[in-house]
Amino acid sequence: MWIEILFIITFRYINALLDWNSDIVATDVELALARHDAVSKYFGSLINDESVFYSRERMQKLVGNFIDVDASRIMNHNYANMSAWLKEFSLKFPNITWLYSVGKSVEGRDLWVLVISKRPRIHELGIPEFKYVGNMHGNEVVGREALLYLIAVLCENYGKNKYLSDIVDTTRIHIMPSMNPDGYERGFVGDRVGYSGRGNAHDVDLNRNFPPRYPSHRENTGGFDLEKETKEIMRWLQEYPFVLSANLHGGSLVANYPYDDSPTGQDGVYTASPDDRLFVALAYSYARAHTNMWKTGRRCGLSTNGDSFLNGITNGASWYHLAGGMQDWQYVHTNCMEITIEMGCFKFPFNNMLSKLWDDHKFSLLAFMRFVHKGIKGFIFNSKGDPVKGAIFSLSEGKNISTTADGEFWRILLPGKYKVTISHADYETKTFEVDVESGPAKQINITLDDKICQPTEDGVHVRGAGLVRVGLIGIDALSDNVISAMLNVSCGYSELTDVIFKNATLHVVPRFSTSKHNAYFKNHSLDALIILGQGAPKSTIFSAGENTPVTFDQSEFDQSLQKVFANNSVACENHLLDSGVSSLVDMMGMKNTFQIGVSLGCSQHDEYTSIAAISAILQTVVGIYATRRDRVNEYSVIPSANPGDHFLPSEVLMATSAGVERIQQLHCATSIPLGSLKALVFGSNHSPHTLIMAVEQKTETLVYELASHLCTDAHADATFGTILNSSTLVLVPEIPHTQLNCHDYASIVPFERLVSELLQHFPLVDYVVLVATGGIKVRYVDANGSGLAKLLADQYASAHQLMNPDKPEMCSSVESSRSTVASLEWSGRAWRAAPDVLLVQTACCYEERGSGHLYEENKDALLAVLSRRMQGVAGRVVLSRNGPVEAFAVISVNGTAHSNSTLYDGHYFIWLPPGTHRISLSIDGYPPSIFSLKVNPLSQTVHNIRLSTPFTFSSLFDTSNLAVVVIAFIIIAGVSICIYELCCHRGVGAGRPWEDGFERLPLNDVETDSSDEDSVELDETHKRVIIST
């Protein structure tokens, strides 16, 4: 009680001190400091020049008369009213607006964006993209309301006011009034300095939730996992080529610019970005056009307790340290420049305060937008006139930016001279000077010349900039010609080599000489060395066996070589088998490098065939290393996940290999060592059998956590219990040579050999789940063609927290949009019953988080798939004497052959869709068992079958029946003798047949056929319900 009273008194005291509309008056000390702050340092007396930094009065004259917002409509708008406002203007002005949603909040509210532009639905070449974002903190609402009013002004004045119409015609403006609609609904009108509704529905501060520049600075209020809103916004920021932005907050009155996070993680440390001068100008431009913000002094009437700002702006980290903010993340990871505006001292104002707040900010909002048209803009082309995507645009001052898919760039710059460098891996770098003026952005179109390929001083040609390091050398005239042709074509862009050069750096010598080139290669550590030469098409491996990648199939590789060079029938000497080549390789001293020689045939081919052949060879070798660039040499026996990676000490045991011993102690799984890896087997040992395997280090924690929960939650959680009672799970949390780097997967063929080896140990496995990263999506292999793999993939995506099977996966950009669900294929080589596969990709590569969130994000989806896997009919086939049948069975469903399988311990399982099915199970030596049953969704019907051996004459002489036959023969013989004696002494034998000792019985009216009873007895049909997740 006393605490509550003290809180109320304190709150009222703060409110009494705070005057949201007070003037800002500077002290002499503050005025002196202002003459030496960032604005004064960079711009000196220009800070008072209204032709450079527009005042409110200057903006009023420029804009002129316009239709302002109807005063009766200026009030707070909740989610429903905000949505109605946006839809109203979208419908009223369809030619200049487009309303879309970036995604949903935690509680399912749309993150609305209204585009206002001459062509709102498309990106128009040469038109910059601008955005405003409001209400990131739910209880800071001035920005939300101001953006709604800005929408009204821009729309209502289009075609009526020249200044406002020009903005719309020359800019594509994206306005998001509320980034945190859930938090807003938790706030309350009249909140001045409180925190109710600041966070989202999970009470996470979204402006602390982005991946921080310094991960160790992460703040508890920002949570440990990316929130739903944060993920949607990150995707949005990388989807559109935004040039300039402002994020509108509340609680003070100042324009804040990067960086927010300081290297030390301490408050009050000025942390300049490479664009510090530009950001100071952007911040001061907003502040100067405001009624009061630009003034030096203490804000909000808090006297000595308030914040004092010089010229109305502040470097974020100089004010207070902030890790995980949107402003810093956006500056580092996109082309966009963003500042943060604190729009007033009252976070959630009363309705009667909003008119004044809108009037204070409306000209600042318009003045800031002018800067999107400052600096330079243009396009970058190659010599053919095609746009160059991803060219790096670097300056003598400021961060680098990159060109869009259309070769576009926009670079906001202040007036002055700049040295500009344009670079791209496929083209010659171009450097020039540009003189930027104060007017509209200068248009500059640049053509990059094709790369002039010059070898190094050692005579080695270097191509590509990827992480995989490969040497390519020739040893004779044939290989010299082939490699030289490849070098000529790959000087500029070549479709055949483009992917290779993105993944690898090649060190190429058309004709190797030990004296000229050996020193160079000794100083470069390579993953692989490829030696080309004359000879019948085949490969020769020079390196020790342990250096040969386990996924390299030499036989398959040689077969492909022979197909490429099929027309080359001339016989010739194989130069790679010369002892001098072996000596040459040994002298290079590459003990840890995969060394492979490739014979290219005996005569020169046409240029295209030669280049295609080398590209295919390189693609094969590079592909092996690109999918697992960093490798470990053995299976880890220590926790492979960082124990402090978002886990409490008690949770580390569940999420790492340290938990295996605990699982064994609880006797909830069988641990099976398989050479360099270990498998954990859970469940009933009955079908269906599923293999779940982590193929990256980051996803090992997910599989370990799944194992721990299977062990501990089976009794408390009905879903876990049902899965374990009705199926078998084989978990492989770690694999040898696991991958340390995140990347996407175009194929799962590299895992084919490992999966095949595991299936030799677990032959009943017919479904494999591979857990990786490289996106938030699923890929499947429908090996048996039943369509079940696709169904399960869709099930996984639908049950996942972040996936939507009907939309592109959230990690991809517009330029590289990827489906959330798509198919892959095995290699096609012959191997034992290739299983269906589900490749689950659990995280974007740009995520800087750990792996602690992966299990919770994927748990529901995993359980949904494992539950769906058990849907159908299962049971046991036994003989009439209760012995299990272990035999080959042919199973048909609804008259169609379904599968041929061997019954182990008499158990069988058939996956079936919901509905009524007629099933036939046939085993040699027994009549077929035919029965009908109904399968319900997410349920397993158990149907046991009892077989009786049919009678045949030959079965009498079966050793198992011989004793019974002998006893029966003796009994029958005895009875026959007795009857004979009776007949001889009575009745017929004595001439009195009516005294035969028997009464004649009438015939029965019902005829019986016992053949069915003799052959098959069906019983015990019931259902096992699978609880839906």
CA distance 330 to 136: 15
The Cβ-side half-sphere exposure at 590, using a 13 Å CA radius, reads 29
546 is catalytic: no
Residues 6+ apart with CB under 8 A from 664: 671
Tokens 């804009």 belong to which residue? Answer: 63
User: Pick from 548, 517, 541: which is nearest to 598 by CA?
Assistant: 541
CA distance 357 to 656: 54
Torsion of CA 603, 605, 609, 613, to 10 degrees: 20
Peptide bond into 181 cis (omega under 30): no
Task: Count CB atoms within 10 A of the CB of residue 547.
Answer: 17
Contact 979, 842 (CB under 8 A): no
Contact 157, 266 (CB under 8 A): no
CA distance 618 to 496: 10
Task: Count CB atoms within 10 A of the CB of residue 944.
Answer: 17
Angle at which helices 854-869 and 718-726 cross, to 10°: 50
| Burial zone of 1004 (CB within 10 Å; 0-12 exposed, 13-18 middle, 19+ buried) | exposed
| Burial zone of 12 (CB within 10 Å; 0-12 exposed, 13-18 middle, 19+ buried) | exposed
CA distance 754 to 738: 12
Could you say which of 145, 338, 342, 700 is catalytic?
Answer: 342
Instruction: Give the burial string for 229-258 (b: 16+ CB within 10 Å, else e).
Output: bbbbbbbbbbebbbbbbbbbbbbbbbbbbb
User: Pick from 226, 218, 68, 144: which is nearest to 811 by CA?
Assistant: 226
**Edge-to-edge strand order for the sheet containing 728-732?**
670-674, 677-683, 728-732, 689-694, 765-772, 836-843, 775-781, 821-823
**3-state DSSP assignment of residue 499:** helix
Q: Amino acid identity, residue 893? A: V
Contact 128, 172 (CB under 8 A): yes
Torsion of CA 280, 285, 288, 291, to 10 degrees: -120
| Burial zone of 92 (CB within 10 Å; 0-12 exposed, 13-18 middle, 19+ buried) | exposed
Torsion of CA 709, 714, 716, 722, to 10 degrees: 130
CA distance 686 to 683: 8
CA distance 132 to 364: 12
Residues 6+ apart with CB under 8 A from 736: 550, 632, 634, 635, 676, 677
Contact 687, 763 (CB under 8 A): no
CA distance 756 to 827: 12
Residues 6+ apart with CB under 8 A from 917: 873, 893, 894, 932, 933, 934, 935
Long-range pairs, 810-815, Cβ under 8 A, ≥24: 810/231, 810/232, 810/235, 810/776, 810/844, 811/235, 811/774, 811/775, 811/776, 811/777, 811/844, 811/845, 811/846, 812/775, 813/238, 813/239, 814/239, 814/240, 815/389, 815/404, 815/405
Count of residues in the chain = 1029
Q: What's the first-to-final CA gap in the chain, in angstroms? A: 45
Residues labelled catalytic: 342
